[in-house]
Amino acid sequence: MRYSSIPSAQLVVQHCKAKKIKNIVISPGSRNAPLTIDFSEDPYFKCFSIVDERSAAFFALGIAQQLHEPVAVVCTSGSALLNYYPAVAEAFYSGIPLVVISADRPVYKIDVGDGQTIRQDNVFDRHIGYSANLKQDVSHAVHRVEKYMPQWLSGKNIETVQQEIQAYNNNELNTVLNVALQVKLPVHINVPFEEPLYDTITEPTVKAESISEIGKEGAQTVHLKAYADIWNSSKQKMVLVGVNPPNAVEQAFLDVLATDPSVIVLTETTSNLHHPNFFKSIDSIVAPIEKSNETEELFEKLQPQILLTFGGLVVSKKIKAFLREYKPQHHWHVDEIKAFNTFFSLTHHFKINIDYFLADFVNFIEPQPSNYFDYWNNRRVQYEAKREAYIKDIPFSDMLAFDFILKSIPENYQVQLANSSTVRYAQLFDLDSSLEIFCNRGTSGIDGSTSTAVGAAYYKETPTLLITGDISFFYDSNGLWNNYIRPDFRIIIINNDGGGIFRILPGQEETENFATFFETTHDKNVEHLSSQFGFEHMLVNDVTSLEVRLNEFYKLSDKPKILEVHTPRFLNNKILLGYFDFISSE
């Protein structure tokens, strides 16, 4: 086996191995050659090669999302590193341990006019769990160190200074990787390398001193009896769940909440929780209230005394607006690490795993007599019936296409949703409980949906379906530029010739400026991109062809498939807005 001759490169790789960070996504470059050599030569690591750094970072994020463990991305110096930022921000707000490892130029070559040199240290400062800026070895390229930075030696011999540097780097690497492992946040390791970069040796010259703990406090001991007493004295309790991984909560605990007449449980498609009594389309409850002549009275009737939340960020803007205006007396959030004050009413953060919390909490709570659930459940039954009636009567459009698509997905698929219109349409429908639903809701950007889905699919035992919009797909088309796409990978693209979500937002006008700068209309399809990246392509633009193609789409094949669904640009927004009018009518 070969090793880089540069000690700091050896240390980084040894620490990753000691911390069991196995998956390494490398973007080709020269400055990161020492890292690439050590990672790719060691059979312990599974190394991926992805050219586009933005795509590479989201690909790694998808793997980490599924394996619930850190995944590393490795890049060369300069602007390459900045392309990781969208995925770093997503990982920061989604609590995903992405490990960014960047090769850097020597500090004495920064800001002197050298190529591909930028200020890489602490570049992710506001969206990172920890930044480790390693020190440059002095035992490598000694003559350059003596020439450009003689003060580093300060009269000491090289061996002594190198030992001090290695001790510092060891400490930083332990700290940064333990943050990724224990705090579940992205981290950054910046490693300066002087040339030569490609020299190798047959035995490592350094040994990592790996430390497992960072002095993190254990799980919070929570005394729940006093909170349960408050809960039991309240007649209106709302449980609201944001992004949640599948199988994260014991169903028996959810059943207790679902059968309490004083509790309503609001979930989203990304919550991955299921019970017949759960309210799965939040906007379909709130929108009719907004349009009612008795808005204030109904909102007061819906207003919870206690709001219990867990999971990640919430999609529904309507429920956020409601709870910010009609605040609960108590808002409790359950999460081991963080609690967002989304509704400006947070009163307590339980720093504990939700399953552990509920395991204790349900022992103290008792169902309370109340008509809270019954009243709102009756309204839910009414809108569900109206939804079915409305869909039967609408022409081909985004909404009708989503109805057909979501009903067509085979059991046990992993479904990755793009942001903007895609995830919002999905909230309006019931999905099979065997499906596992994911979406990058940390920053809610469209920039890495395809890359994330491809990474998430890699280790998954069951097939993966990505549902995306045309703008999101084109924006991240480099997500298909790799050799890791499985033949059972499927993509459905809703192509409505632009950013259709802007047509449903308040204030939009049918003007040239709106079409150009907001909706960004186009006349592109994805046939040529499909061919270029080795996908089988299907195009439909009506209900009949959609039904026929969906019957073929999920069948086993030698190549992955793209189904492009072309919908009428000028009709989609009218049908969606008409839906809320229809279910709001008396």
**Average pLDDT rounded to a whole number, residues 17-41:** 97
* 366-385 residue pLDDT tens: 999 999 999 999 999 999 99
Give CA–CA dist 303/186, Å, rounded: 37
Mean per-residue pLDDT over the chain, rounded: 93
Tokens representing residue 462 in the block: 């069951």
Half-sphere CA count of 303, side-chain side, radius 13 A:
17
Give domain limits for the chain.
3-198, 226-377, 394-584
Give CA–CA dist 419/217, Å, rounded: 36
Give CA–CA dist 447/430, Å, rounded: 27
Give CA–CA dist 294/503, Å, rounded: 28
**Average pLDDT rounded to a whole number, residues 426-443:** 95
Interacting residues of 540 by C-beta distance below 8 A, sequence separation 6+: 546, 548, 549, 563, 564, 565, 566
CATH H superfamily, domain 3-198: Thiamin diphosphate (ThDP)-binding fold, Pyr/PP domains (3.40.50.970)
* 545-556 residue pLDDT tens: 999 999 999 999
What is the 3 state secondary structure string of 401-418? HHHHHHHHCCCCCEEEEC
pLDDT at res. 260: 97
Q: How confident is the model at residue 218 (pLDDT cuts 50, 70, 90)?
A: very low
pLDDT at res. 523: 76
- Reply yes or no on whether the pLDDT at 221 is more than 70: no
> pTM, whole model, 2 decimals?
0.94
Tokens representing residue 106 in the block: 């020597």
Q: Which long-range contacts (CB under 8 A, 24 or more apart) does 543-547 make?
A: 543/396, 543/400, 543/404, 546/396, 546/401, 546/404, 546/405, 547/404
Interacting residues of 78 by C-beta distance below 8 A, sequence separation 6+: 31, 115, 116, 117, 118
Could you say which architecture CATH assigns to the domain 226-377? Answer: 3-Layer(aba) Sandwich (3.40)
Give CA–CA dist 173/11, Å, rounded: 8
DSSP for 243-276 reads S--TT-S-HHHHHHHHT-TTEEEE--GGG----T
| CATH number, span 394-584 | 3.40.50.970
**Average pLDDT rounded to a whole number, residues 164-192:** 97
- Reply yes or no on whether the pLDDT at 89 is more than 90: yes
Burial grade of 551 (CB within 10 A; 0-12, 13-18, 19 or more) = exposed
Q: Helical H runs in 306-353?
A: 317-325
pLDDT at res. 519: 61
Give CA–CA dist 527/541, Å, rounded: 14
Contact 415, 433 (CB under 8 A): no
Output 497 or 200, whichever has higher pLDDT.
200
Q: Which residues of 58-81 are buried (b: 16+ CB within 10 A; e: fewer)?
A: bbbbbbbbbbebbbbbbbbbbebb
* 298-354 residue pLDDT tens: 999 999 999 999 999 999 999 999 999 999 999 999 999 999 999 999 999 999 999
The angle, 0 to 180 degrees and rounded to 10, between the axes of the packed helices 372-393 and 398-408 is: 110
pLDDT at res. 237: 98
Interacting residues of 337 by C-beta distance below 8 A, sequence separation 6+: 95, 183, 184, 351
**Average pLDDT rounded to a whole number, residues 460-489:** 96
**Average pLDDT rounded to a whole number, residues 141-168:** 93
Q: Give me the percent of the chain exceeding a pLDDT of 90.
A: 88
Q: Which residues of 118-132 are buried (b: 16+ CB within 10 A; e: fewer)?
A: bebbebbeebbbbbb
- Reply yes or no on whether the pLDDT at 28 is more than 90: yes
pLDDT at res. 505: 62
Output 170 or 570, whichever has higher pLDDT.
170
- Reply yes or no on whether the pLDDT at 500 is more than 90: no
Give CA–CA dist 357/266, Å, rounded: 19
- Reply yes or no on whether the pLDDT at 215 is more than 70: no
Give CA–CA dist 433/445, Å, rounded: 26
